[in-house]
Structure 1
């Protein structure tokens, strides 16, 4: 299967192939928001940044009959962008801890593993508690928001150095 055919199939299955491209979400909005946010709390508030523009774009492009598709598309694209940001911030935190022999990076790795389990459990709970038919959106929003909070937390570790 060619990449284009794979992307067409993924689009039909409501999974954007190129987050930031076909989805209408611009990952650069995350960097701009984080750069302006002076504190961990303000950085966590960046979770929903870029969603309005993405939704406007998605609503203009989507002609199907699923009213939740534009939101699902944008939440997925936003989450993918936050995951990419988390990877970079996490790797920088590991490197910084590795340079300080007193705090081995294994502790941070364990914290991150525990956080991933927490995020999954929390967001599964959000899905289960959502109104009927809205569970997947609630879970996707939770995953995106918790990932943004973790980025803010890891960035705050770097601020404290």
Structure 2
């Protein structure tokens, strides 16, 4: 089986900077989302904590620090994605609505399963622009963070099951 570039960067030997060396705070992103007037405003919050981390961490412009900051926010959004998906699935099951004869919970599950390879292919493509250079790591983490954050926000704002 082909190992994707995303799998290589996430499992590769050059791991991001150790967590204790980063100045990272998820409250920056959480507060931004909480105070955003609409979905577009919330989407603009994706990356807020990672950007602050890169600015506040000594050496934050190094590829290792950038990857570390972006990965920390990716982990935040991944947890939100899982939480929001679970809530959306529960609402969809309770509503028992149908889309063209398909239960909405089934449609949600199929949508999420299709989103994962889309995310991976998009981030593989973004990494390819770096031609194997050191910027590929931060590019991959940034892409994964951005798309995961967007999907997490979509799920919580979509009204699935309502």
Q: Count the aligned residue pairs.
A: 145
Supply the distance in 2 between the matched residues of 1:15 and 1:70 (Cα, whole angstroms): 7
Deviates more, 1:29-38 or 1:75-84: 29-38
Residues 47 and 149 in structure 1, CA contact (< 8 A), matched pair in contact too: yes
SS in 1 for 2:32: helix
Supply the distance in 2 between the matched residues of 1:124 and 1:100 (Cα, whole angstroms): 37
Please tell me whether residue 92 in structure 1 is matched to residue 93 in structure 2. Answer: no
Calculate the TM-score normalised by the size of structure 2. 0.76
Indicate the structure with greater helix content. Answer: 1
Which residue number in structure 2 is paired with residue 70 of structure 1? Answer: 65
Q: Where does the alignment leave 5 or more consecutive residues of structure 2 unmatched?
A: 1-12
Residues 18 and 68 in structure 2, CA contact (< 8 A), matched pair in contact too: no
Cα deviation, residue 38, structure 1: 2.4
Structure number with greater CO (CA < 8 Å, separation at least 6) is: 2
Cα deviation, residue 40, structure 1: 1.9
Which residue number in structure 1 is paired with residue 143 of structure 2? Answer: 142
Cα deviation, residue 107, structure 1: 1.2
CA deviations 1:81-133 (Å, max 9, x no partner) are 11011111111111111110124312111101100110000000000023633
Which residue number in structure 1 is paired with residue 8 of structure 2? Answer: none
Note the 1:120-159 alignment, pairs <5 A.
120-130=120-130, 132-158=133-159
Which residue number in structure 1 is paired with residue 57 of structure 2? Answer: 58
Which residue number in structure 2 is paired with residue 24 of structure 1? Answer: 23
Calculate the TM-score normalised by the size of structure 1. 0.77
Q: How large is the RMSD of aligned CA atoms in angstroms?
A: 2.7
Cα deviation, residue 159, structure 1: 8.3
Cα deviation, residue 55, structure 1: 1.8
Supply the distance in 1 between the matched residues of 2:90 and 2:77 (Cα, whole angstroms): 20
Residues 78 and 148 in structure 2, CA contact (< 8 A), matched pair in contact too: yes
Cα deviation, residue 53, structure 1: 3.0
